[in-house]
Structure 1
Amino acid sequence: MIVWVMYDIEKDRARTRASKICLQAGLYRVQYSVFLGTIDKNQFDALHLQLEELIDEEKDSIYIFPMSKDELQQTVLLGRAFDKDFVTDEVRSLFF
């Protein structure tokens, strides 16, 4: 499945750890706190649990959006859309 992960985490250490968890799951950074990629159900569950463990639920938020390739291709991107310093060809290929 294709997933978007977006987070707003207050503490630097937890925020850094969240980005490492996303990258280790095979996701690609598209903005500072936004990741996109393809993972299977087991990876999705592991990602969910790892991210849940590191946040302060009173202050932080994480959104994990699963979607199909058809839904992703219907996504509207406005402006620069992706930060060109982060986006790889793997991310671009998900949209075509």
Structure 2
Amino acid sequence: MITLFLYDITSDRIRGKIAQICQDYGLKRIQYSAFLGDITANKQEELWLKCRRRLAEEEGNLMLFVLNQQDLARSRKYISKGAETKPVLLVEPTNPPLLSENNI
């Protein structure tokens, strides 16, 4: 299941720990506080509970969104690096590809 995990946390220490948890679950950083990847429903629940425990009483918020292939196919991302602009994949291609350069 395609998982988009976002957070807004004031504590640098907790923010770093949440980022590490996301990476431990195989999610790829797509923005400073946003991770995307393909994980099972059970792993989503584990990730959610682990991050909630880590945030505990600190100030911040967590968001987990589940996307299907149709939602992901409609997603767009554009990064401009001047003359070197080129399409960027939102997630690593799998079999079948989640996104390709043709639908970005």
Give the TM-score taking structure 1 as reference length.
Answer: 0.80
Question: Is the CA contact 2:11–2:59 (under 8 Å) kept in the aligned structure 1?
Answer: no
2:42 matches 1:59: no
More displaced stretch, 58-67 vs 43-52: 58-67
Partner of 2:85: none
Partner of 1:11: 11
Aligned residue pairs, count = 89
- The list of structure 1 runs, each at least 4 consecutive aligned residues, that deviate by more than 4 angstroms after superposition, is none
Report the 3-state secondary structure (helix = DSSP H, G, I; strand = E; otherwise coil) of the residue aligned with 1:3: strand
Distance 2:34 2:26 in 1: 13
Question: Whose relative contact order is higher, 1 or 2, with alpha carbons under 8 Å and at least 6 apart?
Answer: 1
Partner of 2:45: 45
Distance 1:25 1:5 in 2: 11
Identity over aligned pairs, percent: 33
Unaligned runs of 5+ residues in structure 2 are: 81-87
Indicate the structure (1 or 2) with the bigger Cα radius of gyration.
2
Q: CA deviation at 1:76?
A: 3.3
